[in-house]
Amino acid sequence: MRKAQDLSVLRAVAAEIKARRAHLEISQEELAHRADVHRSFVARLEVARSQPSLGVLFRLAEALEVDVGELTKAIAQRYRKEQRKTIRATLK
State the amino acid at position 45 in one-letter form: L
Let me know: does 38 contact 49? Beta carbons within 8 Å. Answer: no
| 17 vs 90, residue with greater confidence | 17
How far from chain centre, in Å, is Cα 70? 13
pTM (2 d.p.): 0.88
Q: Can you give the pLDDT at residue 67?
A: 98
CA angle 34, 37, 42 (to 5 degrees): 95
Residue 1's pLDDT is 52
39-50 exposure pattern, b = at least 16 Cβ within 10 A, e = fewer? eebbeebbebeb
In tens, the pLDDT along 13-71 reads 999 999 999 999 999 999 999 999 999 999 999 999 999 999 999 999 999 999 999 99
Class of domain 4-91: mainly alpha
| Encoded amino acid at 46, one letter | E
Between 50 and 1, residue with greater pLDDT? 50
pLDDT score of 91 more than 90: no
